[in-house]
Structure 1
Amino acid sequence: MSSPYLTLNVVELTHETNDAVTIHLEHPDRQPIASEPGQFLTLILPCGPGGKKERRAYSLSSTPHEAPRLSVTVKRVHGGLVSNYLLDTVKVGQQMEVMAPLGNFTVKPSPKAARSLVLVGAGSGITPLMSILKAVLHEEPNSHVLLVYGNRNEQAVIFRSQLQKLQEQYPNRFQVEHVYSQPTGKTESKSTSFFSRFTSSKPATPDPHQHTGRLNRTMLLRVLEQKHQFPAEQAEYYLCGPEGMMTEARAALDLLGVPANQIRRESFVAAAETMEAAAAQPNGHGDVSAAADDGKVVARTVTIQYEGSEYEIEVGPSQTILEAALDLDIDLPYSCQAGLCTACRGKCLSGKVHLDEREGLSDSELKQGYVLVCVGHPLTDDVVIEID
């Protein structure tokens, strides 16, 4: 089994806004690193007390066709340990320890595809959407992309110049609808259908289409209201941003009759920022178990199989399986510690495990016995988990 850890060089920095920077990384020998559009990279940085290593996952804003370069975009979070450390200290030439790209919020571009993607994001939720839209525009000449992007104002737009250039490069296939809650300029224009732009013989204007207000259900419905030339239920939707925004977007799509299997959402960015700010715990979804929840969470011994070794771990009633392993200096793979990213995924070979959060796992994975040890608690004394 190959190691999930890599050491990469910082080769360039791009300042996107006053509080966001893109960090461009490459392997020392410039060999390509496998990734998919929309995945994330976990950075492991010695910025904790006494140089303790901290982990944070940041969505890739690069695409596979930009190899050997991997790029992550980091936005400063008030009180954030890792984001502040990065923005204040990162320099070209330094090395960073990372985990190989992970994540299921992805697209698989195909040159033969002719589809329509609607990407809805706010703030730093743009990062995986940027990776997805660049990949589709580059590799699918018959596909169309709409980005609905919410920010406080024009100055807060991450990738602003890149988005402008992409509109100019793909005038009939790519449209950005900017939504500003507190715009500084008076440049709002009348609502025009994004769908009609793709059927017009004239190139779309490169000037961003702007709306004033919050990116909520009403706003998204307004942007998508003219769908007679392109029924909304035929598009594919990708949502990334604060939980409230994604809930509002989902409500709008439900009203439009969009099938659930055509809607993808990425909660990881929002959860990582919540963790970074040391605010509330990520929203849960009630008690979820990988098996019948008929046991009790008490101190139990769990067997972990990882990289050819087997570990017996005593897990306390207030601990997750991952926390108990880390207390014993067992270097298991992990990233978000919120049950979202799947970096710590393992297969439960025997016994029963309760999960505090299951959003990172599909129904199929749960049925196959997969668990996330960062939010897992043993319910029986015979738990054996094989870590991927």
Structure 2
Amino acid sequence: MSKWKEAVINRIEQRSPTVRSFWVALPDREKLEFQPGQFLTLDLPISERRRERWRSYSIASPPNESNEAELCIVQLPGGKGTAYLFEEAEPGTRVMTKEPGGVFTLPDRPLEYDVVMVCTGTGVAPFRSMLLQRLPHETRHFHLIYGSRTPADILYREEFERLAEEFPHFTYSVALSRERPTEAPTFEVADGYVHQLYERDYAEPRPDVRFYLCGWSQMVDEARARLLKMGYREEQVILELYG
């Protein structure tokens, strides 16, 4: 059984009107070992019942030489966990955590297929970790399809724009459901939702592509159903649900 360890929130940064990044460090080590796509589970002081205190958040930062991980967290209306993190937690706050967990990861060998990452909101967190680690070392194509409401809600926008300029094998597309950007972006912007983008670009089923889906369960469930209906196989669609 995994043992709980003390962690400390080193810093907090506002990412969008409803999202903050929390950098969490494990003081018991010099380096935090994890695979991009994994998460940390925090034990927050929000209930007397142990399991009601647990909240899991994907790691948004890539593995590095530090003992720190960035967690990208959206404030949920009525959510006790995010109410504590947004209203009470501050740099220096200590919480309990476990070792990183989860199997929503890329193979640890060179990829033999293209990767299409479909996400909404903070579901982009594990993909950011994967891209920052793998893009410099892969030759297969990565396509990030990100869904948001407004331009102000787009997370890590400038970073993904930079990656698209730096790596020819990375494509960055955004679907906005409520408001378009006022300035001309350097990436593709579509009105509506993520589904129209992957249905257009991958309409003809291919054996050499995998779809990684992450975000709210309604989007993930719908995307999975649509991809299977398009002719893709179960093993080509990998899921991570956010509520």
With the shorter chain as reference, the TM-score category is 0.7 to 0.9
CA RMSD between the two structures: 2.6
> Pick from 220, 226, 243: which aligns with 2:198?
220
Partner in structure 1 of residue 6 of structure 2:
7
Change in Cα spacing, 1:118 to 1:67, as seen in structure 2 (3 Å) is: farther
Contact 1:36–1:108 (8 Å) recurs in 2: no
Partner in structure 2 of residue 182 of structure 1:
178
Partner in structure 2 of residue 113 of structure 1:
111
Partner of 2:8: helix, strand, or coil?
strand
Change in Cα spacing, 1:243 to 1:113, as seen in structure 2 (3 Å) is: closer
Contact 1:120–1:148 (8 Å) recurs in 2: yes
Residue segments in structure 2 that go unaligned for 5+ positions in a row: none
Matches within 5 A, 1:1-388: 3-28=2-27, 30-48=29-47, 54-65=53-64, 67-110=66-109, 112-138=110-136, 140-170=137-167, 172-185=168-181, 207-216=186-195, 218-225=196-203, 232-267=206-241, 269=242, 271=243
Letter paired with 2:114: S
Q: CA offsets, 1:257-277, max 9 Å, x none?
A: 22211210012x2x2xxxxxx
The offset of 1:49, in angstroms, is 7.0
Change in Cα spacing, 1:31 to 1:183, as seen in structure 2 (3 Å) is: same
Contact 2:31–2:64 (8 Å) recurs in 1: no
Change in Cα spacing, 1:232 to 1:211, as seen in structure 2 (3 Å) is: farther
Letter paired with 1:222: R
Q: CA offsets, 1:118-143, max 9 Å, x none?
A: 000111211222222222214x3323
Q: Distance in 2 between matches of 1:12 and 1:169?
A: 29
Q: Distance in 1 between matches of 2:107 and 2:67?
A: 19
Q: Count matched residues.
A: 243
Partner in structure 2 of residue 349 of structure 1:
none
Q: Distance in 2 between matches of 1:53 and 1:248?
A: 28
The offset of 1:29, in angstroms, is 5.0
Letter paired with 1:265: L
Change in Cα spacing, 1:161 to 1:126, as seen in structure 2 (3 Å) is: same
Letter paired with 1:266: E
Contact 2:117–2:145 (8 Å) recurs in 1: yes
Q: Distance in 2 between matches of 1:36 and 1:45?
A: 24
Contact 1:220–1:252 (8 Å) recurs in 2: no
Q: Distance in 1 between matches of 2:36 and 2:223?
A: 22
Partner of 2:100: helix, strand, or coil?
strand
Letter paired with 1:182: R
Partner of 1:239: helix, strand, or coil?
strand
The offset of 1:186, in angstroms, is 5.3
The offset of 1:220, in angstroms, is 2.8
Residue segments in structure 1 that go unaligned for 5+ positions in a row: 189-205, 272-388
Change in Cα spacing, 1:59 to 1:151, as seen in structure 2 (3 Å) is: same
Letter paired with 2:57: Y
Q: Distance in 2 between matches of 1:167 and 1:56?
A: 32
Letter paired with 2:175: V
Contact 1:46–1:53 (8 Å) recurs in 2: no
More off after superposition, 124-133 vs 250-259: 250-259
Partner of 2:181: helix, strand, or coil?
coil
Partner in structure 2 of residue 384 of structure 1:
none
The structure whose Rg is larger is 1
The offset of 1:98, in angstroms, is 0.7
Partner of 1:14: helix, strand, or coil?
strand
Q: Distance in 1 between matches of 2:148 and 2:111?
A: 31
TM-score by length of 2: 0.88
Contact 2:118–2:194 (8 Å) recurs in 1: no
Q: Distance in 2 between matches of 1:16 and 1:186?
A: 19
